Each structure stands twice: as structure tokens, then as C-alpha cells.
Amino acid sequence: MPSHRYASVFDRVTVPLTDRAWPSRVLTAAPLWVPVDLRDGNQALAEPMDPQRKRRFFELLVAMGYKEIEVGYPSASQTDYDFVRLLASSDLAPDDVTIVVFTAARRDLIERTIDSVRGVRNPVVIHVYTATAPTWRDVVLGRGRAELADLILSAGKDVLELTGDRPDIRLQFSPEVFNLTEPDYVLDVCDAMTALWDATPERPVILNLPATVEVATPNVYADQIEYMHRNLARRDGVILSVHPHNDRGTGVACAELAVLAGAQRVEGCVFGNGERTGNVDIATLALNLHAQGIDPMIDFSDIDEIRRTVEYCNGIEVHPRHPYVGDLVHTAFSGTHQDAIRKGLAEHRTRAEEAGSSPRDEKWLVPYLPIDPADLGRSYDAVIRVNSQSGKGGIAYLLETEFGVELPRRLQIDFARTVQTHADAVGDEVSPADLWALFERTYLSSPVEERLALDHYRMDGSRLTITLREGDDLHVHTTTDEGPVAGLVSALAHAGITLEILALHQTSIGEGSSADALTLLEYRNSRGTTWTAGRADSVLDASFEAVMRAASSSPTEVCPRLDSNQRPAL
């Protein structure tokens, strides 16, 4: 890798800040959010949005609660111009939503932009930008520092002239590639613009400081923002905004540290679409705040509908591991993760029950899940899924949540071996339906041998009579001092089949009065210890079926009996 070709950011920009304050600050409130999906995100699409998709995206942003939305680049695209005109001629934008339009610092483009917002009843921001970094000045614009500053101020005067005294229009300036611009130069240019536009607390100017190409670690960007925050001439008349890109993959960190450093406003795209590696992801930023107990002021309670709309409008699928919104982001396949999540969810429910409150009101303390999926409109169905990496806890969780079947721990271990063998063989995820089919095949499908069948039984108070059929012969066994299962085991012993019942666990399949009873039986015979099950309308019939299935796999040889204090209560 020819790394020597690339200069350190410190060879190009030095921030004169030695007593930075941002590292000791904490986030306490959401910044002002400005989604730029309809402009910056739209420019990044191979196939830009048509009017229908653009409108649908705008309606989504409004429904989510965004109050300032950058809607397009009307001087660069007829579609964008027409969309702004649609906003002017309709009630698509609620009165409390501010419309932002974007333009380069050139008079003819500014004229076209201001013409596009003619008649818009909403508050409007005219957003003017010019690249200011040395490479852009030299290579792209061919202008020195002074000449470029004159161009920027000239554009600022054009905006003032063309907007007149309209009180509903506010102004915004972006020194593009701010993060690669000399701090003293960008500070002078920004101060000149706020003086020209007479920035005051009553009518503030937005200064937007983009990390247009992310080239340094996030702490460097934070230093640059704090330097501006502390040195701007009219700071109380400025809304300090940031617009990080994601070239290094640290756009979210840049934005969070920038807010700590004094930024009040963040521009970005829902789920991070944008040129090259994308803009900062303002959904992740907002939900990071939510996960820290801070209201993001934006509604993400139906995250899947938001994702579907964004995917439709952008024509780009969201990655399954994308923070918060990805299909698999709350999903655990690992056995250790599954076990911790299962225990955490159970403990969360228990705390709520003990407090007499709803689980939705309880403090969220579940391992591996930083937020409750229900906050985003998701169920717990997809939290635990099974593949060859999964453990007994995940398998047990799925059988319990999907079918109501509770497995005792030793049966979890026994069945997990079967599931992992199956998962290794198929090389794919095992669905809940697959799990249940595998469980039935393992514990419920082995035939009860006809050589010895339970013909019928009768209970009269404490008296139990069991009739076993062996061919044409009947074996009748009566007992009054044993439970029903123990009585059946005794009858089998008299018929020559000896087995020990080690554990008997009752559960059900499904819920309600129509649910079948399921008996899970651990037993031992001379061949070893294993599990089986029985399913029936009643608990007793299910238990008898499980015992008879165990008898079918037991030889007619005597097995050492357990001491009485080792026997389960049957």
C-alpha cells in the first residue's frame, strides 16, 4: 500500500486550540435536525428521485417530526425547482416546517433559487455555499484567498438584494470543505458574512461547517468546531451547524463530538445516504440519544415503515446490520448472547410484575440490547434466531415464545445437540417452524410399540386400574398407594419392562383452553438416560403417552431402581 503518497491532515490544517473543553462535556439535549435527503441524498443517487418519490419522502420527514427540511437544489434541477413550486402552491408543508433551498454562490443561480420560493408560505432558508479549502481554491476555482472572499461577499450581497426585506427568509452560508480550510481564513470569511447579513439573536444566520470529505479523526473536527464556536464575532447571532460526511466511517462520531464542541444544528440523511460513502446518519444520531435517555424529538416508533419508505425512494436497501434499523440489528444467533438476552427479558418482566407496572415503564437493562426493540415498533419475535452457532437458551426461547413450550434445562441441553447437528447439515438458519418439526421428530414421533399397549385405565378415587395389552393377552394392574404415572410404571414392571422416571415436566402447546398438554419425560433404562414426550388433550393422557413411548424403547430386562429419595414426585 503506497501510504507515503498521502499527507497527514496536520500537514494541511493546524487548529490553534490547546485548552479544548469538549472532552469533558456530555450530551444533554437533541440538536436541531435538518434532513438533506431531498437535496444532498438525492444528488447521490444513480437515479434521482422522481416527483412522486420526492413527495413521499418529504411526507415521511414531516410525519417523523422534522421542522426544517432541505428540499432541493432548484437552480441545478428542473425536478427540484418544480418540487419547490409544488410546496408554494399546496399545503404539503405544515406551517411550522421551514423549507431550505440550496445554491452555489453565483448570481444567476441565486436568482433562480429565490424565484423558486416565490409564494412559499412557510419560513424559508436560502443556503449559499462555496468551497474554501486550498486544493479547491487552486484546482477547482482558480482563485486566491482574497479573490474568493470577494466572490463570497458578492454572493451574500446578491442574496440580500434579491430577497429584499422578506422577514420569512433566513440566510445560511456553508464554506464547503470547511475541515480542510485554514482556521483563520474560514473564520474571517464567516465573520464577514454575518456582518454583511447583520446576524442578531432575533434573526440569526446559520453558519454550516461541513466535513465535506472526512480526512481526520473525529477529535480534530471537534477542535475545529470549538475554535469557531469560541471565536466567531457574532456568536449569539449565529446558529452553528455541521454537515459531516462519512469517508472514514466516523461521520456519526464527528457529529456527536461537534455537538459537544458547540454545534447546535446537524445536517444529514436518514440512514446516511449521500455522495461517496454517505452523509452522517441522523437516524443513528437520534437513536443514540434515545439510548442515553435523551428525547431525540423525532418519532422512530415505526422504524420498519420508515425503512421501507426510504428504500423505495432511494432505491437502496438498508444493510441488515445497520444500527437500529437493519433486519438483524436486534438479532442474536450466538448461544452466549441468546442466553443473556433470554434471562434479561425474563428478569425485566419479573421486575415489572413485582412493581405492578407495565414492562414498557420499567428501566431497560437487558444484555446486548441497548434499547427495547418495541420502542421502534418491533416485536421480540426476531430477537433470537437459531443457526449452528446457537445454544440451548435460544432454542428454548423460540419454542417458548412461538409455541408456549417450556423446556427444562437438561432437555434444552439434549435437544440443542440435535439442533446443532441439523443446522450443521443444512448450513442455514433454523426457523421456529423447523425447530418444532425437529422437536416432534425427536421426541414425539417414535412409535409406541404394539407389543405392549395401554389398553385402558380407570381411576376410582385413589384406586387406579391399568390394563395393558400384549397381543391377545391383557395385564391388569391395580394400585392405591401410587400416583398415576408411578402406577403405570409399576404395571409395566409387572409386564417385564422396567424403567426409571427421572424427571417429569408439564407444559402446553399454545395457549387457551384448546391448547394440548405436553409431558416431557426424562427416564433411564439399562441402555442409559434419555428424554421423550407425550401429547394429548389432557395432562394425564399426555403423561401416559410419554411413559408408553419410553417403555417402547426399553428392553425387557431389569434396570437398577433409584432409592426412594431420588425419585421424582409423580
The 10s digit of each residue's pLDDT in 189-245 is 999 999 999 999 999 999 999 999 999 999 999 999 999 999 999 999 999 999 999
> CA 439, CA 530: separation in Å to the nearest integer?
14
Q: 25-34, 154-163, 250-259, 351-360: which has the minimum mean pLDDT?
A: 351-360
> CA 221, CA 259: separation in Å to the nearest integer?
11
> CA 281, CA 333: separation in Å to the nearest integer?
26
Helices (H), 427-519: 432-439, 484-494
Q: 25-39, 79-93, 257-271, 556-570: which has the minimum mean pLDDT?
A: 556-570
Does residue 356 or residue 398 have the better pLDDT?
A: 356
pLDDT at 60: 98
> CA 47, CA 461: separation in Å to the nearest integer?
79
- The edge-to-edge listing of strands for the beta sheet with 32-35 is 32-35, 265-268, 238-244, 205-211, 169-176, 124-131, 98-104, 68-72
Give which of 482, 486, 468, 483 is closest to 552, Cα–Cα. Answer: 468
End-to-end Cα, the chain, rounded Å: 72
pLDDT at 565: 42
- For the stretch 301-308, contacts whose Cβ atoms lie closer than 8 Å and that sit 24 or more positions apart, written own/partner, are 301/375, 301/376, 301/377, 302/376, 302/377, 303/376, 303/377, 303/378, 304/376, 304/377, 304/378, 305/377, 306/60, 306/64, 306/270, 307/271
For residue 369, pLDDT over 50 is answered with: yes
- The edge-to-edge listing of strands for the beta sheet with 500-509 is 500-509, 516-525, 528-536
At 143, list the grid cell. Answer: 482563485
Q: What percentage of the chain exceeds 90 in pLDDT? A: 64
pLDDT at 512: 77
pLDDT at 474: 86
Residues 351, 353, 355, CA angle at the centre, nearest 5°? 70
What is the overall mean pLDDT for the chain? 90
Phi, psi of 154, rounded to the nearest 5 degrees: -65, -45
For residue 563, pLDDT over 70 is answered with: no
Predicted confidence band of residue 479 (pLDDT cuts 50, 70, 90): confident
* Residues in CB range of 476: below 8 A, 6 or more apart: 465, 466, 467, 468
pLDDT at 562: 39
Domain ranges of the chain: 27-314, 335-444, 453-566
pLDDT at 342: 85
pLDDT at 80: 96
- Which of the following CATH numbers is that of domain 27-314: 3.20.20.70, 3.30.310.50, 3.30.70.3280, 3.40.630.30? 3.20.20.70
For residue 519, pLDDT over 70 is answered with: yes
177 burial (CB, 10 Å; 0-12 / 13-18 / 19+) is buried
pLDDT at 400: 86
The pLDDT of 517-530, averaged and rounded, is: 89
> Helix or strand or coil: residue 313?
helix
pLDDT at 390: 65
Predicted confidence band of residue 341 (pLDDT cuts 50, 70, 90): confident
The pLDDT of 30-52, averaged and rounded, is: 95
Predicted confidence band of residue 161 (pLDDT cuts 50, 70, 90): very high
pLDDT at 506: 93
Predicted confidence band of residue 533 (pLDDT cuts 50, 70, 90): very high
Q: 108-122, 265-279, 500-514, 538-552: which has the minimum mean pLDDT?
A: 500-514
The pLDDT of 124-151, averaged and rounded, is: 96
Q: 280-297, pLDDT tens digit by residue? A: 999 999 999 999 999 999
The pLDDT of 106-134, averaged and rounded, is: 97
Radius of gyration from C-alpha coordinates of the chain:
35
- Which of the following CATH numbers is that of domain 453-566: 3.30.365.10, 3.40.50.2300, 3.40.50.300, 3.30.160.270? 3.30.160.270
pLDDT at 557: 53
Does residue 229 or residue 463 have the better pLDDT?
A: 229
Q: 173-182, 249-258, 388-397, 533-542: which has the minimum mean pLDDT?
A: 388-397
pLDDT at 118: 94
pLDDT at 569: 45
CATH architecture for segment(s) 335-444: Orthogonal Bundle (1.10)
The CA-atom distances, in angstroms, between 23 and each of 19, 30, 74, 222 are 10, 18, 40, 9
> CA 188, CA 262: separation in Å to the nearest integer?
19
Handedness of CA 355, 357, 362, 365 (dihedral sign): positive
Does residue 36 or residue 401 have the better pLDDT?
A: 36
**Under 8 Å between Cβ of 74 and 84:** yes
For residue 76, pLDDT over 70 is answered with: yes
* C-alpha 517 chain-centroid distance: 37
Q: 402-438, pLDDT tens digit by residue? A: 888 988 888 888 888 888 888 778 877 778 888 899 9
For residue 568, pLDDT over 70 is answered with: no
The pLDDT of 537-542, averaged and rounded, is: 92
pLDDT at 386: 65
> Helix or strand or coil: residue 473?
strand
Q: 163-177, 215-229, 407-421, 551-565: which has the minimum mean pLDDT?
A: 551-565
